[in-house]
Amino acid sequence: EYLAEIEDKSSATLDVYRSLLSDLSAKIKFALEDAAGEIPMGLTWKQRNGAKKHAWGSCTTLGKLLSFSNILPYIDITLTESSLSSLFRCIQLSNIINEKIVAAAIKALVNLPITMWHHLSCNCDSVGRGLATCFDFLYEKKTTASNHDDVESLAHLLLISARRADFCNLFLIQDSVPFSVEYFYQWLVRHDTEPGVLKEIAAAVTSQKVEHILDVSVVQMFLSRTIQQNRRQSSP
């Protein structure tokens, strides 16, 4: 509420905003590291329960803060990227963390304005990382997962916001955020993805940055689909 009422984007306001983003991300990270066994010294049951509650609330609050798209241009993009990464990792670890945290992270992400994704597109790896996260979740969980519809909505939002550089990042980060390229392609076909999105993907898979890490058959698969959709669009 405090940030919503401030219109002049004063230095004090931005400092508070930065501090909140950093602190909330740290709380989420702490809970995730504990769940993943990345904290050397184990927590007591009480400490672990408290960390879960903090992470759950932090996801919700972080989503609200990031929705202030008028403030984001004044914030270091690496801080925004780090905040989003903490939310994406909640989805990536959905098999081992509390379901309430996963649901809160997904809700936070799916409710973010498209202007924020446009702001981040091509400027960091957030859009590509988000796409990899969504399609890995959808592939692993199939249609039985709770939150499935919200993750599909998020995937579509990211797809229409993404440009060539974002799709390059999607393929380049497969070592850290693995996903099925075949499933990604089939999803695009099943949802009759618009030619504009396919054009950006085609530009990515044929770029020097990406073509060496993809099988020739995969590149051809995306190119063929792009040509097919373009012909459909131009036919009377």
pLDDT tens-digit readout, 180-203: 999 999 999 999 999 999 999 999
Token pair listed for 89: 């990792």
The mean pLDDT of the chain is 90
| Residue 38 DSSP class | -
36-155-59 Cα angle (round to 5): 45
Neighbouring CB atoms inside 10 A of 134's CB total: 28
> What is the pLDDT averaged over residues 194-219?
94
Distances (CA, A) of 109 to 42, 91, 113, 148, 231: 30, 10, 9, 13, 34
Buried b (16+ CB within 10 A) or exposed e, 75-104: beeeebebbbbbbbbbbbbbeebbeebbbb
| Residue 39 DSSP class | S
> What is the pLDDT averaged over residues 21-28?
96
> What is the pLDDT averaged over residues 204-232?
92
R_g of the chain computed on alpha carbons = 19
Cα dihedral sign, 191-196-199-200: negative
